[in-house]
Amino acid sequence: MSASGLLVAGTSSDAGKSLVVTGLCRALARRGVSVAPFKAQNMSNNSAVCADGAEIGRAQYLQAQAARVAPESAMNPVLLKPGSDRRSHVVVRGRPAGILEAGQYATGRRHLAEAAWAAYEELAARFDLVVCEGAGSPAEINLRAGDYVNLGLARRFGLPCVVVGDIDRGGVFASLYGTVALLEPEDRAVVRAFLVNKFRGDPDVLQPGLDALTRRTGVPFVGVLPWLTGVWLDAEDTLEVGAWRRSDPRPGALRVAVARLPRVSNLTDVEALAAEPGVDVLVTTDPDVVAGADLVVLPGSRATVSDLGWLRTTGLAAVLAERAARGRPVLGICGGYQMLAARIDDPVESGAGPVEGLGLLPTRVAFAEEKVLGRPVGAWRGHRVEAYEIHHGLAALDDGAEPFLDGARAGAVWGTMWHGTCENDAFRRAWLAEVAAAAGSSWTPQPGAPGYADRREAMVETLADAVDAHVDLDLLLTGTRVTLPAARTGVAS
């Protein structure tokens, strides 16, 4: 029987699985294929909220947009959000579902596997093809017995698997060969193809290596994707925090320092800042960089009280206090906003109870058991702001506090619980202009610059173009129930 989907696995985390799935979803959608992304389990503190209030990984949210379908909880049925090195908060079908301890990772996930398999079956019944993204590497042999996201998923549903290797890291032949060599014969039979990612240079120089590896493994290559400039994706883990790097590191740029918290979450909030012309964004732990920036952003955190303690230990808390005293701009988002408050009472996330915040905003935060998940809409200075929220902490403003979106402002310090506010072009540019004025910067928005959503759409189209040009889709889809019509390029239907 023909397979209802395919699995995109990788030799390691950040080998390019998310990129390939995104490009495949758009390339197939452009050809009229009804396609859905799927990741059985995602371990990430970067998440988004669907229209129905379900929380899923940011990468799957983008992949759904690439497939031109509405994001939904079935596309990422299990989301693990690390709160420490040994504990993760569990989200099942978009809703909080308890805690998973490190010792349970290999043995205590049967109920999560069943939820993931049921979600896959739902998608397979409604779409022509389900493009599945693996996690980490399929050769993590210590976890194979309980695996339901890599070859465990592929074996259960009869999915062909393509393994992606990142040649830019070096050692791509060894990593691809080693991946299949570590697999048991039954798992090895599932691997139908290899795909090289991030290649720079002459493909003719690479070809002898591809041929040799195919002779040794029996696994053909379906393509070699080139290095693509101007392409970034929502990072799923800390390996690629700030994958967009500096957006415009030039004299006269508006300098933005983003504190790299130990348990940072939704750092993707600052991607829209990095995409703005003339804005230089740097993710850092350096107190001198934080002190000298025009704007400092405290992003979200999955461990607010713990990361607040880290700010104090590193000296960054003192730098932030000094900035506030001098009228130097600071923005706190979600957990970062909570840290700026006068007081935090947290019996839920950390169990610490009442602790003193940084005291830079006239706000008090109390954590509640029930997580707030939503897609709020507001306004600032007449600019519409669409956002999403994911938090246990509830902030109450002191009497006379100046509201800012759903949060507060005091002098040059702003805070909001809302994620995604900077993705709103008119708001972002107007607010950054006010920040620049407060910081004494000459930066102004560039007239006619493309908006954030337009840039992301162009990025997805670039990925799809690369897949169409450099991947043998017919070979890749061999064994699935999809037969491709001729390519239809461009933004469609």
User: Do strands 191-199 and 221-226 pair parallel, antiparallel, or not at all (unpaired)?
Assistant: parallel
Q: Is 76 helix (H, G, I), strand (E, B) or coil?
A: coil
Residues 147-160, mean pLDDT to the nearest whole number: 96
Residues 389-412, mean pLDDT to the nearest whole number: 92
**Catalytic-residue membership of 334:** yes
Q: Is the pLDDT of residue 20 over 60?
A: yes
Who wins on pLDDT, 54 or 485? 54
Instruction: Identify residue 312 by its one-letter amino acid code.
Output: R
What is the structure's pLDDT at 490? 47
Kindly report, residue by residue over 279-336, the tens digit of the pLDDT.
999 999 999 999 999 999 999 998 999 999 999 999 999 999 999 999 999 999 999 9
Give the C-alpha separation, 268 to 46, whole Å: 7
Give the C-alpha separation, 249 to 271, whole Å: 15
Q: How confident is the model at residue 486 (pLDDT cuts 50, 70, 90)?
A: low
**Catalytic-residue membership of 392:** no
Q: Which of 25, 50, 132, 334 is catalytic?
A: 334
Kindly report, residue by residue over 88-109, the tens digit of the pLDDT.
888 999 888 887 766 555 555 7
Q: How confident is the model at residue 350 (pLDDT cuts 50, 70, 90)?
A: confident
Instruction: Identify residue 430 by its one-letter amino acid code.
Output: A
User: Do strands 330-333 and 87-92 pair parallel, antiparallel, or not at all (unpaired)?
Assistant: unpaired
Q: Is the pLDDT of residue 405 over 80?
A: yes
Q: How confident is the model at residue 44 (pLDDT cuts 50, 70, 90)?
A: confident
What is the structure's pLDDT at 493? 34
What is the structure's pLDDT at 337? 97
What is the structure's pLDDT at 286? 96
What is the structure's pLDDT at 348? 86
Q: Is 264 helix (H, G, I), strand (E, B) or coil?
A: strand
Residues 365-390, mean pLDDT to the nearest whole number: 94
Residues 315 and 287 sit within 8 Å (Cβ to Cβ):
yes
Q: Is the pLDDT of residue 236 over 80?
A: no
Residues 346-351, mean pLDDT to the nearest whole number: 87
What is the structure's pLDDT at 238? 45
What is the structure's pLDDT at 108? 58
What is the structure's pLDDT at 349? 83
Q: Is the pLDDT of residue 485 over 90?
A: no
Radius of gyration of the chain (CA): 23
Q: Is the pLDDT of residue 36 over 80?
A: yes
Q: How confident is the model at residue 379 (pLDDT cuts 50, 70, 90)?
A: very high
Kindly report, residue by residue over 163-172, the tens digit of the pLDDT.
999 999 899 9
State the DSSP code for 117: H
What is the structure's pLDDT at 492? 40
Residues 426 and 400 sit within 8 Å (Cβ to Cβ):
no
Hey, what are 20's tokens? 């390939």
Residue partners of 288: CB distance under 8 A and separation at least 6? none
Residues 233 and 59 sit within 8 Å (Cβ to Cβ):
yes
Q: Which of 50, 392, 419, 422 is catalytic?
A: 419
Q: How confident is the model at residue 132 (pLDDT cuts 50, 70, 90)?
A: very high
What is the structure's pLDDT at 249? 57
**Which residue's entry shows tokens 């209802």?**
4
This prediction's pTM: 0.89
What is the structure's pLDDT at 231? 79
Virtual torsion, Cα 284, 289, 290, 292, nearest 10 deg: -160
Q: Is the pLDDT of residue 487 over 60?
A: no
Residue partners of 413: CB distance under 8 A and separation at least 6? 324, 329, 330, 331, 332, 340, 360, 361
Mean pLDDT of the chain: 91
